[in-house]
């Protein structure tokens, strides 16, 4: 096959298939040596896809994960109608504190980027996770929840504003074999929770009519990260083994605030559809995957998965009292699209509250706009006072450098510095 864009090792590749009238992306890892190369491939793919209105088909094949930042980048392209946010927390123990000092997260309330140590300094949350075999309560400690998404959303806002053909969720398919882990699981489950695509399971046990869409959506560190810090890790290394520990948890943003937060790795998110393509993807099987995908795309024009109320049939006919709110039709219990309009996404400048099903002001975007305003102010003040300083020098030269002029010089400098530091303080605050 002649793929349109691809990495050197073909771990990520895409094609516009005019014969079948589909756009296809294949991927088998987020663990890459050059993240920017994969981001560029995704940029090229989605820019090219925007020139047609074909459905988008993503094939994930035994993708064991990798960099969450790259997964978040992919999430943002697949879910252009939504603003992605990966709700997370750090497991609270000394080992994790020692290796996460350079990690950063976004405060979900203020949108400020904070070092992980700031989240540890806040009061930790302790949950009861049942009773162990000795009758003792199982305790679990974690930090406050923060947003792990790491990409500049302005890029995707700009893409969305200028896009000609944004696909609706029922026009996007993600094939998963259930053996996708870590960052790939975050990509699949976040998209699934946001109702961003039809999740189709393949391969695996042919006797299973359904299965979890992916496994362990949790970033990990290895025993090597704890070398010399933890006796158990040192012993594992001495024996010639390596073990990965999940150190961060991700959460379903739809969970009720009053319920206990159960990490996604302990929740089952069933696939929407099951196809019996039992062999892992290779190019010689391409047409089999496409044929199955096209049948499902056609099905979801009129039918749906009654167990998945997050996936909507988006429609401009669904109107709400606020003009910046948009949505679509929910799936009936009989597996057909209803005429019940449900909010689903917002205009740029707002973000969708998945619990309350409403649009609220986007704190992060407001902060970005404020930052741009402050930077413009700095530039304006710097230029203005720079010009005044030049005028002062000229006047001083013409009038002579007397004692009075010498005193004015440090006043000008101090005034400029005061304005700059004041603006910088406001930006930081």
Are 298 and 413 contained in the same domain? no
* Adjacent-strand bridge partners of 222: 244
* Tokens standing for residue 371: 């930052």
Asked if residue 14 is part of any domain, the answer here is yes
* Tokens standing for residue 79: 């879910």
The residue to which tokens 């605030």 are assigned: 257
Are 228 and 343 contained in the same domain? no
Asked if residue 419 is part of any domain, the answer here is yes
* Residue 141 φ then ψ, to 5°: -110, 140
Helix 363-399 vs helix 153-162: angle between axes, to the nearest 10 degrees?
Answer: 100
Are 246 and 381 contained in the same domain? no
Are 108 and 241 contained in the same domain? yes
Are 370 and 228 contained in the same domain? no
Are 93 and 223 contained in the same domain? yes
What is the per-residue pLDDT for 84? 76
Asked if residue 76 is part of any domain, the answer here is yes
Give the CATH number, domain containing residue 52: 3.90.226.10
Contact predicate 300/314, CB 8 Å: no
What is the per-residue pLDDT for 121? 66
Are 93 and 41 contained in the same domain? no
Asked if residue 352 is part of any domain, the answer here is yes
Are 140 and 213 contained in the same domain? no
Antiparallel, parallel or unpaired: β 337-346 and 350-353: unpaired
Asked if residue 336 is part of any domain, the answer here is yes
Contact predicate 202/275, CB 8 Å: yes
Asked if residue 258 is part of any domain, the answer here is no
Are 127 and 268 contained in the same domain? no
Give the whole-angstrom CA distance, residue 364 versus residue 112: 8
Asked if residue 72 is part of any domain, the answer here is yes
Closest CA to 375 of 331, 330, 420: 420
The residue segments making up the domain with residue 378 are 364-428
Structural domain tally of the chain? 4
Question: 285 by DSSP, 3-state: which?
Answer: helix
Antiparallel, parallel or unpaired: β 358-361 and 350-353: antiparallel
Where b means 16+ CB within 10 Å and e means fewer, 377-397 reads bbeebeeebeeebeebeeebe
Are 97 and 238 contained in the same domain? yes
Q: Spell out the residues 6+ positions from residue 86 whose beta carbon is closer than 8 angstroms to its own.
A: 68, 72, 75, 147, 148, 149, 186, 190, 250
What is the per-residue pLDDT for 289? 97
Are 270 and 324 contained in the same domain? no
What is the per-residue pLDDT for 258? 46
Are 179 and 106 contained in the same domain? no
Asked if residue 159 is part of any domain, the answer here is yes
pLDDT along the chain (429 residues), means of 10: 92 97 96 92 97 97 90 92 83 75 76 74 66 71 81 79 94 93 93 95 91 90 80 87 85 66 85 93 95 98 95 95 94 96 90 86 65 59 66 65 56 66 57
Q: How far apart are the first and last CA of the chain?
A: 53
């Amino acid at each position: 096959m002649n793929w349109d864009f691809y990495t050197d090792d073909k771990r990520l590749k895409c094609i516009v298939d005019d014969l079948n009238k589909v756009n296809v992306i294949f991927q088998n890892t987020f663990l890459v040596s050059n993240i920017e190369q994969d981001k560029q491939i995704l940029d090229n793919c989605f820019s090219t896809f925007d020139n047609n209105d074909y459905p988008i088909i993503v094939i994930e094949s035994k993708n064991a994960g990798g960099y969450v930042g790259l997964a978040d980048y992919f999430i943002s392209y697949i879910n252009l109608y939504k603003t992605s946010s990966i709700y997370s927390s750090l497991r609270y123990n000394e080992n994790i504190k020692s290796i996460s000092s350079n990690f950063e997260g976004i405060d979900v309330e203020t949108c400020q980027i904070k070092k992980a140590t700031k989240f540890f300094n806040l009061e930790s949350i302790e949950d009861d996770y049942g009773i162990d075999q000795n009758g003792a309560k199982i305790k679990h400690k974690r930090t406050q929840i923060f947003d792990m998404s790491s990409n500049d959303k302005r890029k995707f806002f700009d893409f969305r504003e200028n896009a000609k053909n944004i696909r609706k969720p029922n026009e996007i398919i993600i094939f998963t074999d259930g053996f996708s882990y870590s960052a790939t699981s975050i990509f699949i489950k976040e998209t699934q929770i946001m109702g961003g695509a039809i999740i189709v399971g393949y391969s695996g046990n042919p006797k299973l009519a359904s299965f979890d869409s992916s496994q362990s959506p949790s970033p990990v560190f290895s025993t090597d990260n704890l070398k010399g810090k933890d006796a158990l890790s040192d012993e594992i290394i001495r024996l010639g083994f390596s073990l990965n520990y999940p150190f961060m948890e991700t959460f379903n943003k739809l969970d009720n605030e009053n319920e206990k937060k159960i990490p996604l790795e302990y929740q089952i998110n069933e696939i929407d559809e099951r196809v019996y393509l039992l062999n892992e993807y290779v190019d010689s099987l391409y047409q089999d995957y496409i044929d199955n995908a096209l049948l499902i795309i056609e099905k979801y024009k009129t039918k749906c998965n009654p167990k998945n109320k997050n996936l909507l049939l988006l429609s401009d006919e669904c109107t709400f009292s606020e003009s910046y709110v948009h949505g679509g039709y929910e799936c009936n219990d009989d597996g057909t699209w209803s005429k019940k309009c449900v909010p689903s996404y917002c205009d740029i400048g707002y973000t969708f509250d998945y619990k309350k099903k409403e649009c609220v002001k986007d704190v992060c975007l407001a902060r970005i706009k404020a930052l741009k305003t402050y930077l413009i102010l700095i530039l304006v003040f710097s230029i203005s006072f720079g010009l005044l300083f030049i005028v002062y020098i000229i006047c001083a030269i013409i009038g002579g450098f007397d004692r009075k002029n010498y005193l004015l010089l440090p006043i000008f400098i101090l005034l400029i510095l005061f304005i700059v530091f004041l603006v910088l303080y406001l930006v930081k605050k």
